[in-house]
Amino acid sequence: MLLERIYDHDLAQASYFIGCQSQGVAIVVDPRRDLDVYLELAAKNGMTITAVAETHIHADFLSGTRELAARTGATMYVSDEGGPDWTYGSAFDGAVRMKDKQAITLGNITVEAVHTPGHTPEHLSLLVTDGAQADAPGFMLTGDFVFVGDVGRPDLLDEAAGGIDTRFDGAHDIFTSLRDRFLTLPDYVQVLPAHGAGSACGKALGAIPSSTVGYERAFSWWSHYVTNHDEQGFTDELLNGQPDAHAYFGRMKIQNRQGPEVIGAVKDLVEFTTAEVASALADDSAILLDTRHNSEVHQGTVPRSLNVPGTDKAASYGAWVYNPETENRPLILLAADEAEAAELRDHLVRVGIDRVAGFVTTLDGLNLVKPQLVSPTELDAFERVLLLDVRNKTEFADGHIPGAEQLSGGRLMWSLDELPSEGTIVTYCQSGVRNSVAASALRRDGYNVAELDGSYLGWAAMPGAVPAA
């Protein structure tokens, strides 16, 4: 058996390629929408992708299940658990809808569905048996059920999908799933989760790629509560201190349930001249994505551009500031060359940002403006209507500038009714990176924004600075 983990550091998301070498067939689980990595793995190993599955209706990225099935002819496998409110839409009418204990056979490999609700009602984990070596499962693809050192948050439906107090039923379901489905497995079963450290799908995810049932039984924070039948203690600890859920999660949840649009073969990106960019910006027919670090942006950027610094977090930050449901203007990417532009585009399509017109390699010759900055020493005397902390609420609780209000960058553009419409807003994050992203989106929307130079760390380094808690 061949088993490969494909990890997206941007979204802290893992998909899996599992192949039977004797029969030359493979399944991909929880794929993203840019497919080259899976197609190249199949070609390299002389395999045909005949199946594609997902563990649940995802919220943090746009699923590539339909995309991969359309490209390869693979059969789709999705959950048929959770009740009518969690049934995949008609775009999946050609899919096999999986019930608990239903199995997929790929040569010598068996993939068995295990209903593990809690993070979402329809959630499936997948037990994998390598029939060439064993007659029992040795691996469990746990999706967003069990992570390394943590479990999936049950409050995401409340925070991002419009649910009301679903977190309590979700916490109960996770507790039950852990007790009755996970901890009944042998200790040697390897745990292969769908997320790692940095994901907003949990609060304490480990950075190690995999674990085992035995390791989680012995060392995870939740094991004591479950083995001692303390469901209330488990629920209290699970729900306490979860990170802010990004607002775009709600869009992902709806699109993934209905069925993401199939992109098909991607086209070569157009390289624009600065004159063409200037013309597009002048008639407001495109938006420039300034991909430089905030220190460079502060030296001058295109008015009303959006700052998404580099490829590493292009999907995450791009989804903060560009909503394809309300924005129909395409993006022009600032990139060193076509290869970097293509990588940026690949990240953006993972969150459903498909309208990329092309790229430009320089801003020379364009009209540039410097964003307004406020130094920490000027902050107290600076006239403002709001001091806005765009970090997560957990960071804010650990210490913030006195008088600040918190609204995380990932929710900001969906919460504009909470902001004053007139006057200057001073914004900050921890170091300035997220702040520049958020401030660029606010400026594009017409707000008067000044960024705190050096952000929270710059302020905290001043003699006499006393954070509020």
CA dist., res. 88 & res. 78, Å (int): 8
The rounded distance, in Å, linking the Cα atoms of 248 and 326 is 12
| Contact call for residues 406 and 398 (beta carbons, < 8 A) | no
Of 20, 429, 439, 449, which residue is the catalytic one?
429
Task: Check if 20 is active-site.
Answer: no
DSSP 8-state secondary structure symbol assigned to residue 333 = E
The residue written with tokens 């999936």 in the block is: 152
Distances (CA, A) of 425 to 147, 297, 384, 469: 39, 19, 6, 21
Which two structure tokens, joined as six digits, stand for 469?
A: 């808690």
* Distance of alpha carbon 149 from alpha carbon 400, whole angstroms: 28
Distance CA 188, CA 367 (A): 61
DSSP secondary structure letter of residue 461: T
List C-alpha distances in Å: 455 to 28, 312, 321, 405, 434: 42, 21, 19, 14, 10
99 Cβ contact list (under 8 Å, min separation 6): 80, 81, 113, 115
44: buried, middle or exposed (CB in 10 Å: 19+, 13-18, 0-12)? exposed
Burial (CB < 10 A; 0-12, 13-18, 19+), residue 218, is: exposed
Contacts of 404 (CB under 8 A, 6+ apart): 387, 388, 389, 396, 428, 468
Q: How far apart are CA 371 and CA 304, in angstroms?
A: 10
d(CA 382, CA 344): 37
Integer-rounded Cα radius of gyration of the chain? 23
Angstrom distance (rounded) from CA 324 to CA 329? 9
Q: How far is CA 350 from CA 78, 164, 390, in A?
A: 19, 28, 24
Maximum alpha-carbon separation in the chain? 72
3-state helix, strand, coil in the chain (%, to 5): 30, 25, 45
Distance CA 161, CA 384 (A): 34
As to burial, measured by CB atoms within 10 angstroms (0-12 exposed, 13-18 middle, 19+ buried), residue 137 is buried
Catalytic (active-site) positions: 429
